[in-house]
Amino acid sequence: MTNFEKYKDDLMKIEGTFAFDRNTRKIEICDDIDGMKCEDCLFHPETCFESDKIKWLYEEYKEPILSDDELEFIKVLSKISEKKIKYIHKTSHRVFLFSDKPPIDKYGILLDKSNYFDLSGYGYADLFPNIKFTDGLYDIENKCFIEEE
């Protein structure tokens, strides 16, 4: 299924040009005054061209890495810990959440007891099924995996 097929009903409701809110993953009207703010748009600022939007419509639709429930869990955990959770890393049996980006080298993510929260001991090892050990570190805010540096 392409992005067009996924969002065609929403696209048909837009009069004028469309924007895609990368936070809510919804089609909005492209209007910084009455519609969505440019900084929240997938196409802003580097790819705010109609040709890039058309290319995106033809791309295969990809499910988000984190579900709404998982994002809400992270938000609640951030409030409880008083540190905003920004990164996730999984191994085969453990889930690590980070407020600061951990160092990464050619051998992987370097763990320092002070910089992560391990969810595994609390029975949450099965959370985040769309993140695999081989994916590396997931950046929650930028919605992408970070390669070794």
Mean pLDDT of 7-36: 85
pLDDT of residue 113: 66
pLDDT of residue 98: 92
pLDDT of residue 149: 56
Phi, psi at 88, each rounded to 5°:
-130, 140
Helix (H) or strand (E) holding 113: none
pLDDT of residue 75: 92
Contact in structure between 22 and 41 (CB atoms under 8 Å): yes
Per-residue pLDDT of 62-121, as tens digits, reads: 888 998 889 999 999 899 888 899 999 988 788 899 998 888 877 778 877 667 888 877
pLDDT of residue 7: 96
- Provide Rg for the chain, Cα atoms: 18
Contact in structure between 20 and 62 (CB atoms under 8 Å): no
> How many degrees, rounded to 5, is the angle at CA 111 between CA 73 and CA 114?
70
pLDDT of residue 136: 85
Phi, psi at 8, each rounded to 5°:
-60, -40
Mean pLDDT of the chain: 85
Of 23 and 94, more confident? 94
